[in-house]
Amino acid sequence: MHLTLLVGSVHGNARQIAQTLALAAPDYGVSAQVMDMQDHSISIFDTLGLFVLCCSTTGSGDVPDNAQGLYQSLDAQARYLGHVRFGLVALGDSSYGETFYGGAKAFQNRLHDLSAQLVGEVCVLDALDATEPDAVALAWFANWVQYARSLDAGLSRKP
């Protein structure tokens, strides 16, 4: 199973989480690569595959600057993404209230509109939470990989 981790980050927290997950991936039999959203548009989703978006929030519920290009291309070059399966690691700070993890939610909504399938639960990492975010993300990832693999098995059983 191959996984692409797409990073949307302002100060590097989301990038660090993505790198932690990429390092752990081989333990679960997954090959993984980390890519900055900055370098990509909707065409990153042209290839079949599995994605995890690691995305923080800036401004007032906005996607980070390095994610703007990819995010806007999901609108400007909108197309059917029914073949895409993705997980979501959502970084934010619950003290922002209604805009809590708004950046990741924006991606989730837009990808949903284009028929991409969210795999599993969203991993929400709250900056206010005292728990080590890497540990939370790794625990989420272990379950997430198992779930994604079970979907794969289901797909390959289909006639």
Ligand X SMILES: Cc1cc2nc3c(=O)[nH]c(=O)nc-3n(C[C@H](O)[C@H](O)[C@H](O)COP(=O)(O)O)c2cc1C
Lookup result for tokens 């100060």: 11
**Residue 119 near residue 151 (C-beta atoms within 8 A):** yes
61 binds ligand X (CB under 6 A): yes
Residues 6+ apart with CB under 8 A from 46: none
Question: For ligand X, which residue of 18, 20, 42, 102 counts as binding (CB under 6 A)?
Answer: 102
108 binds ligand X (CB under 6 A): no
Question: For ligand X, which residue of 13, 19, 38, 68 counts as binding (CB under 6 A)?
Answer: 13
* Minimum distance from residue 73 beta carbon to ligand X (Å): 20
Nearest CB to ligand X, comparing residues 85 and 110 = 110
64 binds ligand X (CB under 6 A): yes
14 binds ligand X (CB under 6 A): yes
Query: Which residues form the interface with ligand X (CB under 6 A)?
Result: 9-14, 56-61, 64, 91-93, 96, 99-102, 127
